[in-house]
Amino acid sequence: MSPTPKPGLLEVSLYVGGRASVPGMDKVIKLSSNESPIGPSPKAMEALHAAAHDLELYPDGSTRKLREAIGEVHGLNPDQIVAGGEGSGPLLTMLANAYLQPGDEVVISRHAFQVYEIVTRANSAVPVIVPERTTNSAIKMDVEAMLAALTPKTRMVFVANPNNPTGSVLNREEMARLHAGLPKDVLLVIDAAYAEYVTAKDYEAGIELVTRNDNVVMTRTFSKLYGLAGLRLGWLYAPAAICDVLNRIRGPFNTSTLQQQVGAAAVRDRDHFWKAVAHNSKWLPWITEEIRKTGLRVDDSAANFVLIHFPKGEKNAQAADAFLMRHGVILRGVASYGLPDCLRMTVGTEEQNRLAVSLIQQFMAA
Ligand SMILES: Cc1ncc(COP(=O)(O)O)c(C=O)c1O
């Protein structure tokens, strides 16, 4: 006899993050993990140095100042915010731990962020995978198909908006339609990790839906636009009753002093925020158009990355990946997301973008 994990746990596939190195190469360009090319706010860095003096003391277990800073910037009640000290991923874990029971069903779109399936199976619940709709320039969540997948066993629906790795987005009306079709006891989790990048006027990150309903949660992260992936900090906005549940089960000091102070300074620095948005808004369309000129399909993206489709045969995604790697540029293979013919490229600095695009052009022309 040996210790036995809960049913479903061994069906979890290991999460493999974006590669960070190329064997034998010291200097690489990493466009594989949707990190910020701008880096963090200088004010956040100042806060980091200042906070380093208090490390003998426990942090504020309620994360009050960070929640107040987020609340002030987004116009939210800080009591309806819960922060998470290991990024936004563990907030999804906490939600699944709190609301899923063995055998419950969770609706997830086919090419969604892998963590949703992991946290579902970790609770012996059942992921119900729904195909997206594919058009000439997008792989997009299919609201009607997701609603059709509901059964009396459905307890949760995960939606990344914008979605990773497709970059597609549901607009306000589509998300509202999805929510309107859910029974009141089904929790809609909107993972808005890339919300800060979206410039479309008809986008709503989830704040309105959470404010008006008892069964919606929105998660956010400091890892993407705020350039703080190494800090590991996320937060969520949820109805008070859900925050109450999460506050009971979270670690009592689940964010560190450094995370709290750096996060508060980062969210308050709106100049840096707009600089990062402007950079993305300039280079995302440029990358999309330049790669399209090679004849490759590049999907419309609302986030800080693009999904590039390669043909089968000689110029396939694996060959492109290997070619770029030989030149020190790392994109993200997304076969584990069910997209073996695609690579995902993060928006980098101007120099990185120009180099990656010219390598793709060379690869296609060769
Ligand atoms: C859709 C989505 N959600 C959440 C995350 C997790 O971000 P973090 O755990 O760094 O906050 C990512 C990171 O890649 C993501 O793509």
pLDDT in tens, 129-180: 999 999 999 999 999 999 999 999 999 999 999 999 999 999 999 999 999 9
CA–chain centroid gap for 321, Å, is 23
Q: What does the DSSP 8-state code read for residue 3?
A: -
pLDDT above 80 for 238? yes
Q: Residues near ligand 1 with C-beta < 6 Å?
A: 34, 87-89, 113, 160, 164, 191, 193, 221, 223, 229, 234
Q: What does the DSSP 8-state code read for residue 86?
A: T
310 Cα–ligand 1 center, Å: 25
pLDDT above 80 for 17? no
- Two tokens at 128? 């119900």
pLDDT above 90 for 22? no
33 CA closest ligand 1 atom index: 14
Q: How far apart are CA 312 and CA 136, in angstroms?
A: 17
226 Cα–ligand 1 center, Å: 13
Cite the DSSP H helix spans in 138-256: 143-148, 172-180, 207-212, 240-249
Question: What pLDDT is recorded for position 292?
Answer: 98
pLDDT in tens, 328-344: 999 999 999 999 999 99
Question: Which of 16, 119, 163, 164 is the pocket-test mutation for ligand 1 (most atoms within 8 Å of CB)?
Answer: 164
Question: Which of 217, 221, 228, 336 is the pocket-test mutation for ligand 1 (most atoms within 8 Å of CB)?
Answer: 221
Hey, which bits of 51-93 come out as E strands? 81-84
Q: Whose CA is nearest to atom 3 of ligand 1?
A: 193
Question: What pLDDT is recorded for position 20?
Answer: 82
pLDDT confidence bin for 91, thresholds 50/70/90: very high
When pLDDT is averaged across residues 212-223 and rounded to a whole number, the result is 98
Burial environment of residue 272 by CB neighbours within 10 A (0 to 12, 13 to 18, 19 or more): buried
Q: How far apart are CA 332 and CA 329, in angstroms?
A: 10
34 CA closest ligand 1 atom index: 14
pLDDT confidence bin for 1, thresholds 50/70/90: confident
pLDDT above 90 for 53? no
Q: Whose CA is nearest to atom 7 of ligand 1?
A: 88
| 3-state SS class at 147 | helix
Question: What pLDDT is recorded for position 103?
Answer: 97
90 CA closest ligand 1 atom index: 9
Q: Whose CA is nearest to atom 2 of ligand 1?
A: 193
Question: What pLDDT is recorded for position 8?
Answer: 84
Question: Which of 141, 169, 191, 236 is the pocket-test mutation for ligand 1 (most atoms within 8 Å of CB)?
Answer: 191
92 CA closest ligand 1 atom index: 4
234 CA closest ligand 1 atom index: 11
- Whether this prediction's pTM lies above 0.75 is answered by yes
Name the CA dihedral angle for 288, 145, 187, 336, rounded to a multiple of 10 degrees. -50
When pLDDT is averaged across residues 102-124 and rounded to a whole number, the result is 96
Q: How far apart are CA 152 and CA 4, in angstroms?
A: 29
Question: Which of 35, 224, 233 is the pocket-test mutation for ligand 1 (most atoms within 8 Å of CB)?
Answer: 224
Question: What pLDDT is recorded for position 257?
Answer: 96
112 CA closest ligand 1 atom index: 1
When pLDDT is averaged across residues 290-298 and rounded to a whole number, the result is 98
pLDDT above 90 for 18? no
The per-residue pLDDT of the chain, averaged, comes to 96
Question: What pLDDT is recorded for position 52?
Answer: 87
Q: Could you give the count of Cα atoms lying within 13 Å of 214 in the half-sphere of its Cβ?
A: 6
When pLDDT is averaged across residues 48-57 and rounded to a whole number, the result is 90
With pLDDT > 70 as the criterion, what percentage of the chain qualifies? 100
113 CA closest ligand 1 atom index: 1
Burial of 187-215, coded b for 16+ CB within 10 Å and e otherwise, reads: bbbbbbbbbbbbeeeebbbbbebbeeeeb
With pLDDT > 90 as the criterion, what percentage of the chain qualifies? 91
